[in-house]
Amino acid sequence: MPTGSLTSADDPEPVRVVFTPSGRAGAVKAGTTVLDAAREFGVDLDSVCGGRGICGRCQVEPSVGSFPKWAITAGPEALSSPGGTETAYAGRRPLGPSARLGCQARVQADVVVDVPPESQLHGPVVRKTVDVGDIALDPLATLHAVTVPPPTLDERRGLAQVVIDCVADEWGVHLAGILPGALAGLHASVAAGSPDDAGGRLVTVAVRWSGPERSERTGMVTAVWPGIATAALGVAIDIGSTTIAGHLVDLHSGDVLASAGRMNPQIRLGEDLMSRVSYVMMNPGGAQELTALVRDSLAALITELCADAGAEPDAVLEVVLVGNPIMIHIALGIDPTPLGQAPFTLATDAAVEVDGPEMDLPCPSARLYVAPAIAGHVGADTAAAVLAGGPYRDQAITLLVDVGTNAEIVLGNSDGLWAASSPTGPAFEGAQISCGQRATPGAIERVRIDPATWAPRVRVIGCDLWSDEPGFAEAVERRVAVGARSAAAGVTGICGSGIIEVIAEMYLAGVLSPDGVIAAPPGEGERASRVTSDGRTSSFVLYEPPEGADGPTITITQNDVRAIQLAKAALRAGIDLLCEHAAIEAPDRVLLAGAFGAHIDPVRAMVLGLIGDCDPDEVRSVGNAAGTGAVRALLSGSQRTEMERVVRSIRKIETATEPRFQELFVAAMALPHATARNPLLAAVVDLPSSPRRTASPHHRTRRRRAVPMSEEA
């Protein structure tokens, strides 16, 4: 157990302090503040104001009672009574009933002091809106309040060096220098600082640290503010091709203060990434136009987040940016056209750091960190998702899938990771589908089909009722109209999760053959009424508005089925290709990332053949994994180092040049699959007894371990 001492030979009766949960302890002179004792013993106790009783970050909880483990019996008198500074404290973080300010409470007798997580600069984080998992706070931006002495004629140092020396004297923190952006307003900030009796000025110094390990990091002054500033904020942003989402976070507490999202304004110049690359190729100045659009959106998003939290953008010291390679290139002002054609060469796959103003962000003191990319079409968003999902942390073989216009796939465990991207196209997002639409109120998101009658039931976004339940039509008209405002009420189309379910249900009910052909039932009856024909192909009638109600009839055409088959075959072939490289038949668990993954029914996804055969209970959504990983990187420099290390170890498999990809793609066109067995799926759902090609007797034996990359041929 680490110990220390603040006593001298003239102090015959030292008192002991034990800090929990760290267990660090030592002897101190009576009258020593808890904060000073914590610093002496290396206890993680936060403070911004430097012991002035202003910021409230050093709150502790003294424990009263008998503690045999440390041979201490502590009473209320173990700490000094609250003084005037403590009783007058009225900071942003109120004092609890038994809490004390560590900088004001003085140790008078043996005592056990608890440092709660919110008082630990590097404490564990438990979040509600963004589940970042089990990490310790390790921010790269910190605040330090210091008193700058009044200037004198014989002072030979510049003001910047005086501030740096004050930080060293008051905090024991040695800095390398001050950034140019902090120099512009340095004199004004110090002059406006809170005066003391000696003519000094109280200011807050913002420091930005760089370097892989905490003990080796170098600090630079990024801003100096008059008085006490307690807000050190950061923003984590995921730039998607469709949406841009961000979270405003308190870097000292880990609290998510606000979350917001907006449509990517580049959509008007091209819905998918390749169309935006084409726009750059065909339009002089197109790259600059796309860059300006995304930077304007980033600035507006940060301003919105700060407004929602009642904060100023000036307090944002860190920004973490993730996204697919093309979006990141455009945001940074790098030509994206090399990513539009083989060999899809990145300008850089390393992490990039720039000052916020260089990206036109409204944060003059912010440093922007762009996460590293894995390969040409597997970018920083996938790197962040890997950090959040953590497939490299244990032996269970994990498949991480982020389904979008371009699906990113990562497979492996602590022995090795493989990654690939598959060109699934926009079908899963509702594009190329006759009645497809984005996931907005009125879109069908759930489907069930009666195998005997082929009668469908649907549920739409904005209504909890199924279509065969009383009150559905009225509820849809009312709720969708409120949710969509000016949009048409009623059932308006079908979104991605609904598309997955309807194709799977059509197969289970016998509407679709294993080859994806819509059946034409002979004769009349309810089955026949569900299928229409144009003479060449058939369509399945999924939903008809009630008599007298407006709205479209929702049908699934043969072309719709083919579009989904092509998309799912591309994804499945990519997954199967990675399984071959990892020498496994199927993963132990599947993590579905992104908004689309959050709403997929695992069983229907397996019926469709979107993913291979596995235990449905081991298929789960991890939500916006890219955004979660970005928040982890925002809160912890150690997490950034870990992400960069893991990314460099991932082996990228290029589907476009793999000889096996086409063969796997053809086999994956069938429902669920032309050759793969599905015993785990068959245990939870009745699959149609259709003729199947027999699997090869030389099928792979499932392994519980991915082959390390060094062992792969």
Look up the CATH number of the domain holding residue 183.
Answer: 3.10.20
Please tell me whether residues 299 and 259 are part of one structural domain.
yes
Whole-number pLDDT of residue 2: 45
Q: Mind listing the pLDDT tens digit for each residue in 107-144? A: 999 998 888 877 876 655 433 346 666 777 888 998 99
The domain in which residue 331 lies consists of: 248-370
SS3 644: helix
Q: Beta partners for 5? A: 27
Two tokens at 526? 């309810």
H helices then E strands: how many in the chain?
A: 19, 30
Whole-number pLDDT of residue 270: 65
Q: Is 377 a member of any domain? A: no
pTM of the predicted protein model: 0.76
| Residue spans of beta strands (DSSP E) within 453-595 | 456-460, 493-494, 531-533, 538-543, 554-557, 589-593
Q: Mind listing the pLDDT tens digit for each residue in 208-227? A: 998 777 777 889 999 999 98
141 CB-near residues (< 8 Å, 6+ apart) = 206, 207, 208, 209, 222, 232, 234, 251, 317, 318, 367
Q: Which residue has the higher pLDDT, 477 or 254?
A: 254
Q: Which residue has the higher pLDDT, 257 or 276?
A: 257
Please tell me whether residues 84 and 162 are part of one structural domain.
no
SS3 334: coil
pLDDT surpasses 50 at 693:
no
Q: Is 376 a member of any domain? A: no
Q: What is the mean pLDDT of the chain?
A: 84
Look up the CATH number of the domain holding residue 85.
Answer: 3.10.20.30
Cα of first residue to Cα of last residue in the chain, in angstroms, is: 48
258 CB-near residues (< 8 Å, 6+ apart) = 247, 248, 305, 306, 308, 309
Other beta carbons within 10 Å of 523: 6
Q: Is 236 a member of any domain? A: no
pLDDT surpasses 90 at 377:
no
Are 4 and 40 spatial neighbours (Cβ–Cβ below 8 Å)?
yes
Please tell me whether residues 186 and 282 are part of one structural domain.
no
Which helix (H) or strand (E) segment is 286 a member of?
helix 286-309
Two tokens at 333? 């002002």
pLDDT surpasses 70 at 375:
yes
Whole-number pLDDT of residue 596: 67
Whole-number pLDDT of residue 585: 84
CA distance 101 to 407: 51
Q: Is 136 a member of any domain? A: no
Please tell me whether residues 309 and 405 are part of one structural domain.
no
Whole-number pLDDT of residue 699: 37
- Pick from 588, 594, 582, 581: nearest CA to 612: 588
Whole-number pLDDT of residue 271: 60
Q: Mind listing the pLDDT tens digit for each residue in 334-359? A: 988 888 777 778 888 889 999 999 99
Give all strands of the β-sheet with 416-422 in edge-to-edge order: 619-621, 589-593, 398-402, 407-413, 416-422, 651-652
Q: What is the largest CA-CA distance in the chain?
A: 106
- Cα torsion for 76, 82, 86, 90, to the nearest 10°? 70
CA distance 211 to 296: 30
Please tell me whether residues 537 and 633 are part of one structural domain.
yes
CA distance 552 to 546: 11
Answer with the one of 88, 119, 150 that is the final residue of a domain.
119
CA distance 477 to 498: 19
Q: Mind listing the pLDDT tens digit for each residue in 649-691? A: 999 988 878 889 999 999 999 999 999 988 999 999 988 875 4
Q: Mind listing the pLDDT tens digit for each residue in 399-432? A: 999 877 678 899 999 999 999 988 777 777 766 7
Please tell me whether residues 161 and 29 are part of one structural domain.
no
Whole-number pLDDT of residue 456: 95
292 CB-near residues (< 8 Å, 6+ apart) = none
SS3 63: strand
Min mean pLDDT across 335-339, 481-485, 558-562 is at: 481-485
Q: Mind listing the pLDDT tens digit for each residue in 66-101? A: 777 778 888 889 999 999 899 888 877 788 888 999
Q: Mind listing the pLDDT tens digit for each residue in 312-329? A: 999 999 999 998 898 899
249 CB-near residues (< 8 Å, 6+ apart) = 233, 234, 235, 236, 255, 256, 257, 631, 634, 635
Look-up of token digits 């509820």: 475
pLDDT surpasses 60 at 639:
yes
Min mean pLDDT across 389-393, 396-400, 402-406, 519-523 is at: 519-523
Look up the CATH number of the domain holding residue 351.
Answer: 3.30.420.480
Radius of gyration of the chain (CA): 30
pLDDT surpasses 70 at 523:
no
Mean pLDDT of 426-450: 83
488 — pLDDT class (breaks 50, 70, 90): very low
Two tokens at 183? 């120099």
Min mean pLDDT across 231-245, 259-273, 432-446, 454-468 is at: 259-273
Q: Is 4 a member of any domain? A: no
| Residue spans of beta strands (DSSP E) within 72-193 | 72-74, 100-101, 111-114, 141-148, 177-178
Look-up of token digits 């301003």: 303
Whole-number pLDDT of residue 33: 93
pLDDT surpasses 50 at 702:
no
Please tell me whether residues 681 and 558 are part of one structural domain.
yes
Q: Beta partners for 60? A: 100
Q: Which residue has the higher pLDDT, 460 or 700?
A: 460
Whole-number pLDDT of residue 484: 39
Other beta carbons within 10 Å of 268: 9
Please tell me whether residues 254 and 115 are part of one structural domain.
no
CA distance 567 to 561: 10
CA distance 136 to 521: 61
Whole-number pLDDT of residue 265: 79
Are 91 and 79 spatial neighbours (Cβ–Cβ below 8 Å)?
no
Q: Is 242 a member of any domain? A: no
Please tell me whether residues 352 and 421 are part of one structural domain.
no
Please tell me whether residues 296 and 431 are part of one structural domain.
no
HSE-CB for 257 with a 13 A CA cutoff:
25
What whole-number percentage of the chain has pLDDT above 70? 89
Whole-number pLDDT of residue 486: 35
Residue 322: C-alpha distances to residues 92, 235, 384, 410, 535 (Å): 32, 11, 7, 17, 49
Q: Is 7 a member of any domain? A: no
13 — pLDDT class (breaks 50, 70, 90): confident
Q: Is 234 a member of any domain? A: no
> Between β-strands 243-250 and 233-239, what pairing exists: parallel, antiparallel or unpaired?
antiparallel
DSSP-derived secondary structure for 500-514:
HHHHHHHHHHTSB-T
Look-up of token digits 């598309």: 499
When divided into structural domains, the chain yields a total of: 4
156 CB-near residues (< 8 Å, 6+ apart) = none
Please tell me whether residues 558 and 526 are part of one structural domain.
yes
Please tell me whether residues 346 and 405 are part of one structural domain.
no
Residue 639: C-alpha distances to residues 127, 132, 387 (Å): 16, 11, 8
